[in-house]
Amino acid sequence: MNLTYHTVDLKLKHPFRISRSVTELKKNVIVRIDEGIGEAAPSRYYGENAETVIRCLEKVKGQLGDDPSQLESVLSNLDKNLSGDFSAKAAIDMALHDLVAKKLNIPVYQLLGLDGGVPLITSYTIGIDTTEKMKEKTRLAGEFLVYKVKVGVENDLEMVKAVREVTDAKIRVDANAGWSTEEALEKIDRLKEYGIEFVEQPIDPQDKAGLRRIKQEAGIPIIIDEQLMTSKDIPGFVGCCDGINIKLAKCGGIREALRMIHTARAHGLMVMLGCMIESSVGIAAAAQLGSLVDYLDLDGNLLVANDPFEGLKKERGKLYLSDLPGLGVTPRKS
């Protein structure tokens, strides 16, 4: 199989601020394996960038063999040759799924035995900003049924209040580890008056005792994201949360995301499917698994102004998978 790649500069519609960082431009890597396509959305937080992705691709591009249908062995071989480097692995995993499904002339969800016909309700993320800007972003976003508000800074209660003033939709919050345990308990208590659905990553993921306490006392579901990478990490968070946030770029692709979903269910955990800032390629790949999860946060492509691809339909806050073969994405016609 022949692997090629190129980088894409995704420009954010608004600077995307979370408790620890701000992003205006995201450099991702589009990977092609024969006619299959995938996307690496590297995360600085996990020590990755476009250069580290390219180094991985160069290292493994001659080791893919010539049979894409051998997904399990090709991908476990990759795992042996790349340590970490989850977004690079995810791009190869997506491209192989796309390639095999195209060869069979079926969508990837069908290849996986999943229902592709269910409308997928996604949240739309409102990054940290002035309260006026956050209201404006919520209004401009259009008809979403759920908003995810980034918190974890001093005035976060005012920010959520501002968003609540302009929408009746559900609101979930993500503190990206920006709170201490005491602060989290106090703020969650006050946030409840705005009808919060759940809280993502209230505190440092290493602070298991703090997480356990928050889970017991907060009275609202707690979802873990940061530092929960693959299925192997799930047992360590049991008792510390009510659910986990899976991202293809964080776990290494569709194959591992499926393992994570089943592992989470075996531990009685809820499952959220999230994303990085990425184009319709990465988002469509994650959306193939949408029918299996409780919460979707697949808005990465909607936050960028220049998505080079298309393929997912969005209507009134719901995503609809394409029934084209593979991931169903094609270069955007402009």
Shortest Å, Cβ 225 to Mg ion: 4
Shortest Å, Cβ 297 to Mg ion: 8
- Size, binding site for Mg ion by CB under 5 A: 3
Closer by beta carbon to Mg ion, 173 or else 329: 173
Shortest Å, Cβ 19 to Mg ion: 10
H/E stretch holding 96 reads: helix 86-104
Closer by beta carbon to Mg ion, 42 or else 311: 42
Tell me how far apart the alpha carbons of residues 61 and 64 are, in angstroms, rounded to a whole number.
Answer: 6
Tell me how far apart the alpha carbons of residues 202 and 180 are, in angstroms, rounded to a whole number.
Answer: 8
Shortest Å, Cβ 253 to Mg ion: 19
Q: What letter represents residue 175's amino acid?
A: A
3-state class (DSSP) for residue 171: strand
Closer by beta carbon to Mg ion, 71 or else 218: 218
Shortest Å, Cβ 133 to Mg ion: 20
**CB environment 149-174: b (16+ within 10 A), e (fewer):** bbbbbeebeebbbbbbeebebbbbbb
H/E stretch holding 60 reads: helix 50-60
Closer by beta carbon to Mg ion, 5 or else 179: 179
Tell me how far apart the alpha carbons of residues 316 and 275 are, in angstroms, rounded to a whole number.
Answer: 20
Tell me which residue has tokens 């790949």: 285
3-state class (DSSP) for residue 208: helix
- C-alpha dihedral sign at 210, 216, 218, 222: positive
Closer by beta carbon to Mg ion, 5 or else 198: 198
In angstroms, how far is the first alpha carbon of the chain from the final one?
30
Closer by beta carbon to Mg ion, 225 or else 299: 225
Q: Which two tokens stand for residue 102?
A: 């195209």
Should residue 299 be labelled a site residue for Mg ion when binding is judged by CB under 5 A?
A: no
Q: Applying CB under 5 A, which part among 135-143, 172-180, 265-273, 323-331 lies near Mg ion? A: 172-180
Should residue 256 be labelled a site residue for Mg ion when binding is judged by CB under 5 A?
A: no
Contact between 197 and 163 (Cβ < 8 Å): no
Shortest Å, Cβ 229 to Mg ion: 13
Should residue 225 be labelled a site residue for Mg ion when binding is judged by CB under 5 A?
A: yes
Burial class of residue 98, CB neighbours in 10 A (0-12, 13-18, 19+): buried
DSSP state of 280: H
Would you give the distance in Å from CA 184 to the centre of its chain? 23
Closer by beta carbon to Mg ion, 89 or else 172: 172
Shortest Å, Cβ 174 to Mg ion: 4
Closer by beta carbon to Mg ion, 79 or else 294: 294
Shortest Å, Cβ 214 to Mg ion: 15
Closest residue to Mg ion, Cβ-based?
A: 225
Shortest Å, Cβ 290 to Mg ion: 18
Closer by beta carbon to Mg ion, 53 or else 175: 175
Can you tell me which of 34, 98, 174, 307 binds Mg ion, judged by CB under 5 A? 174
Q: Applying CB under 5 A, which part among 149-157, 174-182, 184-192, 321-329 lies near Mg ion? A: 174-182
Site string for Mg ion, 184-223 (x = CB under 5 A): ----------------x-----------------------
β-bridge partners, 123: 146
- DSSP letters spanning 21-33: -EEEEEEEEEEEE
Which residues form the interface with Mg ion (CB under 5 A)? 174, 200, 225
